[in-house]
Structure 1
Amino acid sequence: MLTVRNTGTVPDNYTLEITRNDTAASLNRTRVENLQPGSDVAVLLSVSGISPGVFTVNVTATSETDSNVTDTVSTITRVTPINITGFTADSTAERGHTLNASVTIKNEGGSAINLTVVVSGLQNETGYPVVGTGVLVNLGAGQEMTLPVRVYVPPTADTGDYTLFADVWLYEDYPDVMKAVKSGPEVTSVTP
Structure 2
Amino acid sequence: TPRADTETLVETALRLSHNQPTGTVLDLGTGSGAVLLAFLSERPGWTGTGIDVSKNALAVAIRNAAVCDLEARTRFTGKNWTNLPDASYDLVLSNPPYIAHDELAQLEPEVQMFEPQIALDGGPDGLDAYRFLSQNLPRWMSDAGQFAFEIGYQQARPVTDLLAAQGYFAELASAKDLAGRDRVVYGQMATKPQDKTKI
Structure showing the higher helix proportion among its residues: 2
Structure showing the higher strand proportion among its residues: 1
Q: TM-score range by the shorter chain?
A: under 0.3
Q: Which structure ranks higher in relative contact order (CA pairs < 8 Å, sequence separation ≥ 6)?
A: 2
Per the normalisation by structure 1, the TM-score is 0.21
Which structure has the larger Rg? 1
Per the normalisation by structure 2, the TM-score is 0.20
